[in-house]
Amino acid sequence: MKKVLIVTYYFPPSGGPGVQRVLKFVKYLPEFGWQPVVLTVQDADFPARDESLLAEIPGHAAVYRTKIFEPYRLYRKLTGKPSDAPVDVENIPQPGRKKSLSESLAEFVRATFFIPDARIGWYPYALPAGRTIIHRENIDALYSSSPPYTTAVIARQLHRETRIPWVAGFRDPWTGFLSTPDRWFLPRSLDRRLERSVFEQASAIEAAWKGILTDMTNKIPGLDRKKLVHLPNGFDRDDYPKLEAVRNQRFTVTYTGSMYGKRNPKTFLTAVEELASEGKIAVDKIKLKFIGRFGSEVLEMLRSSPVRDAIEIVPYLPHSESVKELLRADALLLVVDEAAGSEGIVPGKVFEYIGARRPIIALAPEGAVAELMRETRSGYVAANQDIPAIKAVFIECYQNFLYDRSQGRQDAEAVKQYDRREITRQLATLLDNLHLQY
């Protein structure tokens, strides 16, 4: 069986949606002739930890872990945040909020010295480990999972030295994305040069949503389109347990994930609050369940809402428990970040929502998510700032619940293509083709 070295920062015990993509590739690749070997970190400063996912690492996978220098521990000291504070939900504030002097200083340091990102401290440890693994395991191909983009820089160097075919995987765009630090011209130029070199030198590039590929070709018009592949995120049917059917006493809308900065529930809450004040919904007949990690601004928004009696805030849950919460809901809330190019963004969790077979209330612009909802018949879409449209969607789902009406049926054939096993098969085919070329 051929072997592929997977270079990834996010791997159990890391939690979050980024972990699932790589974990499922590792699970299913042997079915298609590829043995996964994983190079990842040990004792990392993950934004979220999910120890339960360690049990999901397949026995067939060889996992190598190396040290890493994590600057966010220093960042917390500079900004006076608790040592266990999740940095990611606090370092992208909502527009208009001023940062403190310590936050501004820390952001300047991050934007100036940590290129391509704050995980560059893994490079000096991962590179020699990667060289050793390639020779010890007789590796046939490389695969890197970004972000963080440091993984692509590591894989690029290993590819240069060994000429082993390399697939660079991306779950988000690189420079110019909503999470990109606001760099001044010199570090910005260096970051773009790194990005360009990765795009041009990778044997193939796969992206979780089409907008990432569009972003690449806009940046580099001469980029070889033949090596660009769209491999969407998906869901694993094995993750969904069979639960006893129990009707909720209150119409329950569930959100899972993280919220901070431009990704917040402001317009959704406004719509629900207006419906309540107009007497079109009863607050004691609804439950809005927010599960995950939230920035302080979002928490304040939830706790101060006029419908706060209907709101339940639940801290981050292990993945298996989070999936159960999806199955217990009457509808699922999806919020696409408000940012330039957001029409192309497809959050990974939308596929997990689709797999749960519950109607989705998607606050998103006309674009990729809206097309996905129509293609799979999985839910409703309203523009994030269109309060009347959000109200209309909410009241329709609410009344369907009250009167026990069917919410429509998914297109099973359309949904089938987003099965993790099928997507892994496509990755294996890509690796096979590259292996033949090299």
This model's pTM is above 0.85? yes
| Pair 301, 266: CB distance under 8 Å | yes
Q: Are residues 324 and 249 in the same domain?
A: yes
Q: What per-residue confidence (pLDDT) applies to 204?
A: 98
Q: What is the pLDDT of residues 353-412, one digit of tens each?
A: 999 999 999 999 999 999 999 999 999 999 999 999 999 999 999 999 999 887 778 999
Whole-number mean pLDDT of the chain? 92
Q: What per-residue confidence (pLDDT) applies to 262?
A: 81
In a domain, 381, yes or no: yes
Q: Residue 17 — very low, low, confident or very high, per pLDDT cuts 50/70/90?
A: confident
346 pLDDT higher than 70? yes
In a domain, 94, yes or no: no
Q: Are residues 205 and 340 in the same domain?
A: no
| Cβ neighbourhood burial of 3 (10 Å; 0-12, 13-18, 19+) | middle
Q: What per-residue confidence (pLDDT) applies to 180?
A: 86
Range of the domain at 397: 238-415
92 pLDDT higher than 70? no
In a domain, 330, yes or no: yes
426 pLDDT higher than 60? yes
Q: What per-residue confidence (pLDDT) applies to 97?
A: 55
Q: What is the pLDDT of residues 135-148, one digit of tens each?
A: 999 999 999 999 99
Q: Are residues 38 and 149 in the same domain?
A: yes
Q: Are residues 154 and 260 in the same domain?
A: no
Q: Are residues 337 and 299 in the same domain?
A: yes
Q: CATH number, domain at 426?
A: 3.40.50.2000
Q: Are residues 174 and 230 in the same domain?
A: yes
305 pLDDT higher than 90? yes
In a domain, 106, yes or no: no
Q: What per-residue confidence (pLDDT) applies to 438?
A: 80
Residue 404 φ/ψ region, left for φ over 0, alpha for ψ in the -120 to 50 degree band, beta for the rest: left
Q: Are residues 411 and 423 in the same domain?
A: no
Burial state string for 8-36 with b = 16 or more CB within 10 A and e = fewer than 16: bbbbbbbbbbbbbbbbbbbbbbbebebbb
Q: What per-residue confidence (pLDDT) applies to 78?
A: 61
Q: What per-residue confidence (pLDDT) applies to 165?
A: 98
Q: What is the pLDDT of residues 175-215, one digit of tens each?
A: 998 778 889 999 999 999 999 999 999 999 999 999 999 99
Q: Are residues 148 and 246 in the same domain?
A: no
In a domain, 205, yes or no: yes
In a domain, 33, yes or no: yes
**Count of structural domains within the chain:** 2
In a domain, 277, yes or no: yes
In a domain, 86, yes or no: no
Q: 81 or 33, which is more confident?
A: 33
